[in-house]
Structure 1
Amino acid sequence: MRKLNIGLTEKEREGVIGLLNSSLSNVYLLLIKTKKYHWDVVGPQFRTLHMLLDEQYQALSTATDSIAERVRILGGFPAGTAAEFIQLASLEEHPGVIPNATEMVAKLVDDHEIIIRSLREQIDQSSEEFHDEGTADFLTGLMEQHEEMAWMLRSFIEGESVAPDGNLPQATKKVPASAGKN
């Protein structure tokens, strides 16, 4: 491979490539989990959730490709095997477990939030430790995508939690009696 001369040392490039491969692994595992839940979801909200998970799966697929391409841009090679993804990721798999629809969404929210926290750290490292503002900017965009997906999922299950007595809790936000009156 031709030597890169893009203003980063080899050590800096290797550092950000490592961060990117970690993110790629997390996003790929989340993509797999999202697709699995897309296949397995059942219940009264099946269609809505099935479609939402498909949209998110497609976005995650695009994100994995973008991360892998960023690794190549920097002269590295992306992780690309299940063994590498599991080794480099901080997300956990739960083989053989098929949660109900609300639990699926909650687990996906948790995973997105793990990725968001990790990306915040990687953004700082990219910029401060490795002096790669391009990767910091790239990771910021990726983080914003995960923030939006997590928000969509949280919005889906908002109000779905069950009180200890098994009943749905009353809304905590009340509309004033005068709302809508002229």
Structure 2
Amino acid sequence: MKSAYHPAGPVMDIGIAAQDRADIAAGLSRLLADSFTLYMMTHNFHWNVKGPMFNSLHQMFMVQYTEQWNALDVIAERIRALGHPAPGTFAEFARLTSIEAPEGVPAARDMIRLLVAAQEATARTARGLYPVVDEANDQPSADLLTQRLEVHEKTAWMLRSLLEE
């Protein structure tokens, strides 16, 4: 079967309707914005944490921000594979994110609380996209969402455990 061609270039036909691809890309853009905001927050806390938990939190935050950094590319490339541009500016991320980044340098326990909330917010963003992805029969995006949910839920649990007495 020959691919359709348009004067502006080949027409995309991956078996997902154009409007569904646009809706999924919009949802993934929100996930990318949350993920980038979470990455920046975690990296900031890695640099600025202090107190008796310094060493363990400094190391834990490094593992977490490194994982987040690697996820950014995966999410952005899925948006591109769906035929849409990925957001990539602070202004776009600020407009799209559901996470409110703190001002200043919180105390270590507050950093943990803020990261729990940010991990959970990112999980909610990912989970909220499932109905659109399922309806469009978009297995690669569903797989990406499943992987991200596993990471965010596990990380939130691990951070939350640090706050228990």
Asked if Structure 1 and Structure 2 have the same fold, meaning a TM-score greater than 0.5 normalized by the shorter chain, the answer is yes
Matched letter for residue 161 of structure 2:
S
| Partner-residue secondary structure (3-state), 1:5 | coil
| Correspondence for 2:6 | none
1:117 corresponds, among 120, 124, 139, to: 124
Is it true that 1:156 corresponds to 2:153 in the alignment? no
Deviation for aligned residue 1:134:
2.4
Mapped partners of 2:63, 2:143: distance in 1: 24
Give me the whole-angstrom Cα distance separating, in 2, the residues matched to 1:6 and 1:143. Answer: 25
- Residues 1:25 and 2:33 aligned together: yes
Structure number with larger C-alpha Rg: 1
- The whole-number CA distance in structure 1 between the counterparts of 2:47 and 2:164 is 22
Gaps of 5+ in 2: 1-8
Query: Partners in 1 of 2:96 and 2:75 — Cα distance?
Result: 14
Give 4+ residue runs of structure 1 displaced > 4 Å after superposition.
none
Q: Distance in 2 between matches of 1:154 and 1:92?
A: 19
Pick from 98, 101, 113 the counterpart of residue 106 of structure 1.
113
Aligned to 2:53: 45
Contact 2:122 2:152 in 1 (8 A): yes
Could you state the TM-score of these two structures normalised by the residue count of structure 2? 0.90
- Residue 62 of structure 2 is matched in structure 1 by 54
Deviations along 1:16-57, one digit per CA (max 9) or x if unpaired, are: 000110100000001000011111100011000000000000
- Residue 83 of structure 1 corresponds to which residue in structure 2? 91
User: Distance in 2 between the 1:131 and 1:15 partners?
Assistant: 13
Task: Give the C-alpha shift of residue 135 in structure 1.
Answer: 1.1
Q: Give the partner amino acid of 1:134.
A: P
- Other-structure match for 1:141: 147
What is the aligned residue count?
A: 157
**After the TM superposition, which of the residue ranges 69-78 and 19-28 deviates more from structure 2?**
69-78
Which residue identity is paired with 1:123?
Y
Structure 1-normalised TM-score?
0.82
RMSD (Å), alpha carbons = 1.2
Q: Which runs of 5+ in 1 are unaligned?
A: 160-182
Does 1 or 2 have the higher relative contact order (CA < 8 Å, sep 6+)? 2
